[in-house]
Amino acid sequence: MAEVAIAKRKEKCENCTKQCNKKKGEEGAPLQEKHEANGEVNEESPQLLSACLSCDGCVSEEESLKISQQNLEEVNRVLALNKKCDVAEHKVLVVSLSPQSLPFFAVKFGLDIAEATRKLCGFLKSLGVQYVFDTTVAAGFSILESQREFVQRYRRRHHDSQSLPMFTSSCPGWIRYAERVLGSLVTPHISMARSPQQIMGCLVKDYITQQQKLSAEKVYHMVVAPCFDKKLEAVREEFYSSLLDSPDVDCVLTSAEVFHMMECRKASVAELDSVPLDHVLGEVGDTGPLRYEGRTSEGFLEHVFKHAAKELFGLDVQEITYKTLRNRDFQEVTLERDGETLLQFAAVYGFRNIQTLVQRIRKGRVPYQLVEVLSCPGGCLSGRGQAESTVEGRLDKALVQQMEEAYISLPVRLPEVNPALHTLYRDWLEGQDSPQANAALRTQYRDLSHMHTQPPHIQW
């Protein structure tokens, strides 16, 4: 990926931003008959998306400054300082890899995911990175917290009108739209579980620093993710620890940015060492990357659905059957018993489908108890930080298909049976319902729609 392309994209979330800017620049020009958002063409809507989640209209100057520091230049600066300055001033570099980024490197390297991950780990450690983790443990925490929260919300549904439906909270593009535009219509319904990225930030800056006898400010934590919006998530003020005087995540680079770094350094995959990932608990051995259930993302819908079926109705669900509604990115799952519908969940990906969901919410016609919402069509694997083609604004469909095939080849592990999670709940968080667990694993999303001096005017 060319450096100029990365520069254009590093502060932008998705293709709707480009369309928004195009509209702003064409004063008086007639609106197009179609609009594209995240690579989708919506012929039903006569107008362009006239504002974007992460365009300059709702990104503050402070956020813009912080985001501008999340790039290759900043990472290279930290690496260079470690080589020049006194050892006492060195930063300990920690990298966390999103599981959805790993298929990108597998396809680019022409290797299976396990070997591609080892090669990527070898490259990062050759730069001076001390620890390389994946975020599977953090995603496990997020899933377990979401499961417990859903059951609690379901049981109080009759006396709490805002308990259901519950919307997932792992997608920062969706969260920003919900907070800045939809406001109180949906914010009480958003799950309080932190995203895997931000839970990993707490793990690194709190637990791992304790284990390694480091101070949080001595650690530089970088996350590799498939999505530009993850940069915005990292700079949210609630993800800065005043106690540790440090952000949970210092920098987010997209998969394409890291691959560009490899190209700039002329790294040969064949010559790179194969180095296993580090383990949060310091275990010895190379188990290789794992995934949770789900099509192209963390699988919150499937895990919560199966857990709720067992916890609330005593039913063991082995396989989940999706029913496609409007398109493959708007699907639902139903649990029935003796002709009665017990649970009805939906997966809604991409802003065209989110628009439909919002319209139904406004009309009070949402039959679902849980909705997994992701701003990228196709889910996280299709994030524009790794799935954009050489034609700007277009999705590389062939690459996405290859990544999907690679991703589903990963072995599945249920978070409920992951011993590392049980150990961390006990030793790090002092139990599931402890104040420490609530602080590290949960957050609160707010209605910010009233804070805009010029409220975003979104037309679909």
Q: Which amino acid type is present at position 215?
A: S
Instruction: Report the 10 Å Cβ neighbour count for 429.
Output: 21
Could you tell me if 341 and 335 are in contact, meaning their C-beta atoms sit under 8 angstroms apart? Answer: yes
- Provide DSSP, 126-183: HHT--EEEESHHHHHHHHHHHHHHHHHHHHTTTT-TTSSSEE----HHHHHHIIIIIG
CA pair distance 426, 438, nearest whole angstrom:
14
CA pair distance 142, 405, nearest whole angstrom:
25
- Provide DSSP, 266-286: T--GGGS---PPP-TT---S-
Six-digit token pair at 71? 């790039």
CA angle 335, 348, 401 (to 5 degrees): 105
What is the β-pairing status of strands 330-337 and 323-327?
A: antiparallel
pTM of the model as a whole: 0.85
Could you tell me if 346 and 372 are in contact, meaning their C-beta atoms sit under 8 angstroms apart? Answer: yes
pLDDT at 449: 82
Residues with Cβ within 8 Å of 170's Cβ and at least 6 positions away in sequence, in order, are 142, 193, 195, 196, 297, 298, 300, 374
Q: Where are the beta strands (DSSP E) in 218-302?
A: 219-225, 240-241, 246-247, 251-254
Instruction: Report the 10 Å Cβ neighbour count for 9.
Output: 21
CA pair distance 315, 310, nearest whole angstrom:
5
Q: Which amino acid type is present at position 231?
A: K
pLDDT at 370: 97
Q: Tell me which DSSP letter residue 319 carries.
A: -
Six-digit token pair at 318? 């082995």
Could you tell me if 250 and 221 are in contact, meaning their C-beta atoms sit under 8 angstroms apart? Answer: yes
pLDDT at 436: 94
CA pair distance 233, 249, nearest whole angstrom:
9
Centroid of chain to Cα 42: 25
CA pair distance 436, 49, nearest whole angstrom:
41
CA pair distance 204, 320, nearest whole angstrom:
34
What is the β-pairing status of strands 340-349 and 330-337?
A: antiparallel
Reported as type and span, the H/E element at residue 372 is strand 370-374
Helices marked H in 318-434 — which ranges? 351-362, 397-408, 419-427
Residues with Cβ within 8 Å of 396's Cβ and at least 6 positions away in sequence, in order, are 387, 388, 389, 390
Instruction: Report the 10 Å Cβ neighbour count for 377.
Output: 22
> Could you list the pLDDT tens digit for every one of the 460 residues in the chain?
434 344 444 334 344 444 444 444 443 433 333 333 333 333 333 232 333 444 445 566 777 777 777 889 999 999 998 888 777 778 999 999 999 999 999 999 999 999 999 999 999 999 999 999 999 999 999 999 999 999 999 999 999 989 999 999 999 999 999 998 999 999 999 999 999 999 999 999 999 999 999 989 899 999 999 998 999 899 898 888 777 778 999 999 999 999 999 999 999 999 999 999 999 987 666 667 888 887 667 789 999 999 999 999 999 998 899 999 878 899 999 999 999 999 999 999 998 899 999 999 999 999 999 999 999 888 899 888 998 887 766 888 999 999 999 999 888 889 999 999 999 999 999 999 899 999 999 999 998 887 754 444 433 3
Classify 287 in phi/psi space as left (phi over 0), alpha (psi -120 to 50) or beta.
alpha
CA pair distance 171, 169, nearest whole angstrom:
6
